[in-house]
Amino acid sequence: MGNDAPQRRAAERWVSRKVKAKGLRPRYAAYLIAAIWFVAVVVFGIVEHLVDPETFPTVWLGMWWALQTVTTVGYGDVVPVQTGGRIIASFLLLGGLSFLAVVTGVVTSAFVTQAQAARMEDRDDPVLARLDEVVDGLAAVRADLARLKAEPPPGQ
Q: What is the pLDDT of residues 20-33, one digit of tens each?
A: 776 666 667 767 77
Is residue 39 a part of any domain in this protein?
yes
The reported pLDDT for the residue numbered 1 is 46
Higher pLDDT, 99 or 86: 86
Q: What is the pTM of this model?
A: 0.53
For residue 53, the surrounding DSSP H or E stretch is none
Alpha-helix residue ranges (DSSP H) falling in the chain: 4-22, 26-51, 59-70, 83-122, 126-150
Is residue 87 a part of any domain in this protein?
yes
> With contact defined as beta carbons under 8 Å apart, do 62 and 56 qualify?
yes
Is residue 63 a part of any domain in this protein?
yes
Count: domains in the chain: 1
Is residue 133 a part of any domain in this protein?
no
Is residue 84 a part of any domain in this protein?
yes
Higher pLDDT, 8 or 38: 38
CA 89 to chain centroid:
23
Full domain range(s) for residue 121: 12-125
Q: What is the average pLDDT score of the chain? A: 81
Is residue 52 a part of any domain in this protein?
yes
Look at residues 41, 30, 110 and name the one whose alpha carbon lies nearest to residue 73.
41
The reported pLDDT for the residue numbered 156 is 65
pLDDT (average), residues 85-91: 86
Residue 57: give its domain's CATH number: 1.10.287.70
Is residue 23 a part of any domain in this protein?
yes
Is residue 156 a part of any domain in this protein?
no
Give dist(CA 146, CA 137) in Å, integer: 14
> With contact defined as beta carbons under 8 Å apart, do 92 and 62 qualify?
no
pLDDT (average), residues 10-17: 76
Look at residues 60, 61, 63, 58 and name the one whose alpha carbon lies nearest to residue 40.
63
The burial class, CB within 10 Å (0-12 / 13-18 / 19+), for 80 is: buried
Q: What is the pLDDT of residues 89-126, one digit of tens each?
A: 888 888 777 777 777 877 787 788 887 777 777 666 67
Give dist(CA 48, CA 30) in Å, integer: 26
